[in-house]
């Protein structure tokens, strides 16, 4: 299901697939999303799996979810479950096609033996350091390992012993016998299997040798009948190796296609760094609302449709591109504008007394839940002689383009009356602490004749307003590209969150965790799913509203 009415935008991958289908080179489209379960998914992964699942949907094919769990020391079940949840959250469905690279360990082992028998693989007994030295450099050919010409029999025996656990980690390794002088480093006898006496999250202690990515990925694709193995650009140099294994093994050949990974400004995307942010407590966890993880965005209040829209909007190419964070935020606004109920909340209160309104009177005003969607109904908004407005909406000496409240000025109370500021009360320090106003009681639901009041401000009734916790989030990093700083941690935005309170209309007190409201004229706020208590919600600011006035200033 596409999030937009428009046909999916054309891109080079779609073009390749369409052509293959037309000329009969392929008959169906099978893609796959192959995360390693060693961390939480982030927005960059969303780009990848939206592409893979999207392509499968568009061409009536199938997209598999396959966990690339070939490195047991980094992988955990916790991540497997989290990843499944995130993919589902965005609305994608892998059906019965849930796989693990570890499902193929037996087959992979057999294939390794097959290559040894064919003289295409050998057991190397050099140390890591020796291998590094003999591999050569980017401009210098490598040299053959002294173990390169072991007999097939010897290799078979050694590999079997590796499997049986006769050797400690790091003592031997199975390598493909390709070309130590290849200009492509990946072809200089790449590692196929390493010894790792480690417990695997799924296969337990069955194995003490594990296949490398390069020896597992293409074969996994092949076994599953994946027709298009779509990955990021850094694997371009691996493609010849991917194809080499497929060819030598004589198995079904998927096509690997590479696209540019997502770069988002004011964000870091590397798992290592995200993990460090969590471990070093720069954020509260993987699901901190400032994190670029899907769990973080969910908690922040980003709707899944917005993330889908974002992925579609940014397109797919091969050039290293940088997307501005504001593009994502704009998608969030676009989505939330349609779906969020409107409420009033004051973040920075300034007391207002309506002098011509009875002190003991409380009126229940009707306010629409959504101005463009009357079918969403209305709610009651209490009004009394004592209110709070936002300090930003009053200026003692307003500039010409300011059309909010000022001494002697008139303004519309959103969903209420027009009021006029008669008197400004200050404390001993000269700070404004209260405004005395008078209301034009004939302006409820209608405009006065003979004068136009342009300004509209939000407010809450003092005695009925409820105080709630709010967290005002901003971008996690202050630098556009945190990786350009000497240390990306130096680029952290010290003001990425401000913990504060807000006075809100009473109906908000029982809001369900996870729901998002628009605090009119302020922004979108989501009831935090972790820290809210029944009757005691805590609000996360998801994103502010567009503010052309702030830009004017």
Partner RNA sequence: UGGGGCGUGGCCAAGCGGUAAGGCACCGGAUUUUGAUUCCGGCAUUCCCAGGUUCGAUCCCUGGCGCCCCAACCA
Q: Which residues are catalytic?
A: 36, 261, 271
| Contact string 417-436 vs RNA (x = CB under 7 A) | --------------------
Which 167-206 residues touch RNA, going by CB under 7 A? Answer: 169-173, 183-186, 191, 194-196
Query: What's the min distance (Å) between Cβ of 471 and RNA?
Result: 20
Size of the site for RNA (CB under 7 A): 94
Applying CB under 7 A, among 68, 305, 390, 528 the residue interacting with RNA is 68
Applying CB under 7 A, among 32, 120, 409, 412 the residue interacting with RNA is 412
Q: Closer CB to RNA, residue 236 or residue 422?
A: 236
Applying CB under 7 A, among 404, 409, 471, 541 the residue interacting with RNA is 404
Instruction: Find, among 37, 29, 30, 51, the residue nearest to 85 by Cα.
Output: 37
Which 116-155 residues touch RNA, going by CB under 7 A? Answer: 126-128, 131-132, 135, 137-139
Beta pairing class for 322-323 and 263-264: parallel
Which one of the spans 106-114, 246-254, 353-361, 402-410 is the region binding RNA (CB under 7 A)? Answer: 402-410
Query: What's the min distance (Å) between Cβ of 234 and RNA?
Result: 4
Q: Distance between CA atoms of 431 and 232, rounded to whole angstroms?
A: 57
Q: Closer CB to RNA, residue 102 or residue 532?
A: 102
User: Rounded to whole angstroms, what are the CA distances from 461 to 164, 292, 350, 361, 367?
Assistant: 75, 37, 12, 12, 14
Query: What's the min distance (Å) between Cβ of 410 and RNA?
Result: 13
Applying CB under 7 A, among 58, 74, 420, 424 the residue interacting with RNA is 74
Q: Distance between CA atoms of 461 and 362, rounded to whole angstroms?
A: 9
Query: What's the min distance (Å) between Cβ of 393 and RNA?
Result: 8
Which 461-490 residues touch RNA, going by CB under 7 A? Answer: none
Instruction: Find, among 190, 223, 196, the residue nearest to 210 by Cα.
Output: 196
**How far is C-alpha 155 from the chain's CA centre?**
46
How much of the chain is helix, strand and coil, in % rounded to 5? 30, 25, 45
Q: Distance between CA atoms of 488 and 144, rounded to whole angstroms?
A: 40
Which 242-271 residues touch RNA, going by CB under 7 A? Answer: 260
Bridge partners (DSSP) of residue 175 are 122, 191
Beta pairing class for 349-354 and 386-390: antiparallel
103 touching RNA, by CB under 7 A? no
Query: What's the min distance (Å) between Cβ of 419 and RNA?
Result: 12
5: buried, middle or exposed (CB in 10 Å: 19+, 13-18, 0-12)?
A: exposed
Rounded (10°) angle between helices 239-249 and 105-117: 80
Applying CB under 7 A, among 8, 358, 371, 408 the residue interacting with RNA is 371
448 touching RNA, by CB under 7 A? no
Q: Distance between CA atoms of 353 and 357, rounded to whole angstroms?
A: 9
Query: What's the min distance (Å) between Cβ of 153 and RNA?
Result: 22
Q: Closer CB to RNA, residue 384 or residue 532?
A: 384
User: Please, are residues 456 and 414 in contact by the beta-carbon 8 Å criterion?
Assistant: yes
Query: What's the min distance (Å) between Cβ of 261 and RNA?
Result: 9
401 touching RNA, by CB under 7 A? yes
Which 500-519 residues touch RNA, going by CB under 7 A? Answer: 518
Phi and psi dihedrals of 342, rounded to 5? Answer: -90, 140
Which one of the spans 49-57, 428-436, 445-453, 460-468 is the region binding RNA (CB under 7 A)? Answer: 445-453
Query: What's the min distance (Å) between Cβ of 365 and RNA?
Result: 9
Instruction: Find, among 452, 472, 366, 378, the residue nearest to 409 by Cα.
Output: 452
Which 295-334 residues touch RNA, going by CB under 7 A? Answer: 313-324, 326-327, 330, 333-334
Q: Which letter does DSSP use for residue 236 in this model?
A: G
Which 10-49 residues touch RNA, going by CB under 7 A? Answer: 10-12, 15, 34, 36
Instruction: Find, among 254, 233, 247, 108, the residue nearest to 187 by Cα.
Output: 247
| Helix or strand (DSSP H, E) at 256 | strand 255-259
Which one of the spans 230-238, 286-294, 298-306, 374-382 is the region binding RNA (CB under 7 A)? Answer: 230-238
Between vectors from CA 466 to CA 462 and to CA 468, what angle results, nearest 5°?
135
User: Please, are residues 520 and 342 in contact by the beta-carbon 8 Å criterion?
Assistant: yes
Applying CB under 7 A, among 76, 144, 179, 236 the residue interacting with RNA is 236
342 touching RNA, by CB under 7 A? yes
Q: Distance between CA atoms of 111 and 117, rounded to whole angstroms?
A: 10
């Amino acid at each position: 299901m596409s999030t937009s009415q428009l046909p999916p935008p054309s891109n080079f991958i779609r073009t390749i697939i369409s052509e293959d289908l037309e000329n009969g080179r392929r008959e169906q489209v099978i893609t796959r999303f192959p995360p390693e379960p060693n961390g939480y998914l982030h927005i960059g992964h969303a780009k990848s799996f939206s592409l893979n699942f999207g392509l499968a949907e568009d061409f009536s094919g199938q997209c598999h979810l396959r966990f690339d769990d070939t490195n047991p020391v980094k992988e955990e079940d916790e991540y497997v479950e989290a990843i499944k949840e995130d993919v589902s959250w965005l609305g994608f469905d892998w059906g019965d096609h849930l796989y693990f690279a570890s499902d193929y360990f037996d087959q992979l082992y057999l294939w390794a033996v097959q290559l040894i028998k064919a003289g295409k693989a050998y057991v190397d007994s050099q140390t890591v350091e020796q291998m590094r030295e003999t591999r050569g450099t980017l401009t210098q050919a490598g040299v053959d390992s002294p173990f390169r010409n072991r007999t097939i029999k010897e290799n078979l025996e050694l590999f079997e012993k590796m499997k049986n656990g006769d050797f400690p980690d790091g003592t031997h390794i199975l390598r493909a016998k390709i070309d130590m002088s290849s200009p492509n480093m990946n072809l200089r006898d790449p590692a196929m299997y390493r010894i790792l006496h480690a417990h695997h999250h799924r296969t337990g202690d069955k194995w003490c040798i594990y296949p490398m990515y390069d020896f597992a990925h293409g074969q996994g694709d092949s076994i599953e009948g994946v027709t298009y193995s779509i990955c990021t650009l850094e694997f371009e140099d691996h493609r010849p190796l991917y194809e080499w294994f497929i060819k030598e093994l004589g198995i079904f050949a998927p096509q690997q296609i590479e696209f540019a990974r997502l770069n988002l400004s004011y964000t870091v995307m590397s798992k290592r760094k995200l993990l460090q942010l969590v471990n070093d407590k720069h954020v509260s966890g993987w699901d901190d609302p400032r994190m670029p993880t899907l769990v973080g965005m969910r908690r922040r209040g980003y709707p899944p449709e917005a993330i889908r829209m974002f992925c579609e909007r940014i397109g797919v190419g091969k050039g290293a591109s940088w997307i501005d964070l504001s593009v994502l935020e704009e998608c969030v606004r676009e989505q939330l504008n349609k779906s969020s109920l409107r409420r009033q909340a004051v973040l920075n209160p300034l007391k207002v007394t309506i002098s011509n309104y009875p002190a003991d009177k409380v009126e229940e005003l009707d306010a629409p839940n959504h101005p463009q969607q009357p079918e969403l109904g209305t709610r009651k908004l209490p009004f009394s002689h004592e209110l709070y407005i936002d300090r930003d909406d009053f200026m003692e000496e307003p500039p010409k383009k300011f059309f909010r409240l000022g001494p002697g000025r008139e303004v519309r109370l959103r969903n209420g009356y027009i009021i006029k500021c008669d008197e400004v009360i200050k404390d001993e320090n000269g700070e404004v602490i209260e405004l005395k106003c008078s209301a034009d009681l004939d302006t409820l639901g209608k405009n006065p004749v003979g004068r136009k009041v342009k300004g509209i401000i939000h407010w809450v009734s003092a005695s009925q307003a409820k105080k709630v916790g709010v967290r005002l989030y901003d971008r996690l990093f202050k630098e556009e590209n945190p990786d350009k700083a000497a240390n990306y941690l130096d680029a952290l935005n010290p003001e990425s969150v401000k913990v504060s309170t807000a006075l809100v209309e009473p109906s908000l007190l029982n809001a369900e965790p996870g729901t998002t409201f628009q605090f009119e004229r302020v922004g979108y706020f989501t009831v935090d799913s972790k820290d809210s208590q029944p009757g005691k919600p805590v609000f996360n600011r998801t994103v502010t509203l567009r503010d052309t006035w702030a830009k004017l200033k």
